[in-house]
Amino acid sequence: MAITELLDDTLNGMRRSQAPGYMLSALAGPLSQLPKLKSLLPPAAEYMCYLVHGKVVYIGHGNGDRKIGDLLSADVKTGAQVYVVYSIDPRFGKVQAGYLEARLIDRLFAAGVPLAN
């Protein structure tokens, strides 16, 4: 069972989800608060997969320096939420983050979700 921690006491605000026994964790919140959200990533979380959910969905992966949402228009970013999936396990690297990105794109495309990428 995953545990979700509301970091600013609202369901649409910043939150962290972790499940005991799993290697992945997630941070989520408004895209407008991305710098604060990224500051909550543990230093050991070198690579991540992320999803920006606004009028369309954009999925990507990268390291901690990744400029999340930089390819999206201001219209798409307005009111968007960002989900950052990361791990402190050293086995979760660039290859695994890229694989997770590809799986999310495949699954969401099959479900008919409007994707920006």
Cβ neighbour number for residue 87 with a 10 Å cutoff: 22
User: Do the domain assignments include residue 117?
Assistant: no
Which is higher by pLDDT, 84 or 71?
A: 84
Residue 115 located in a structural domain: no
Distance CA 41, CA 38 (A): 5
- Average pLDDT for the chain: 91
Residue range(s) defining the domain that contains residue 103: 3-110
Average pLDDT of the segment spanning 59-70: 85
User: In the chain, what percentage of residues exceed pLDDT 90?
Assistant: 68
The pLDDT tens digits of the residues spanning 12-35 come to 899 999 988 889 999 999 999 999
Domain assignment present for residue 32? The answer is yes
Residue 56 within any structural domain of the chain: yes
Assigned domain for 34 exists: yes
The total number of structural domains in the chain stands at 1
DSSP 60-82: EEEETT--TTTTS-HHHHTT-EE
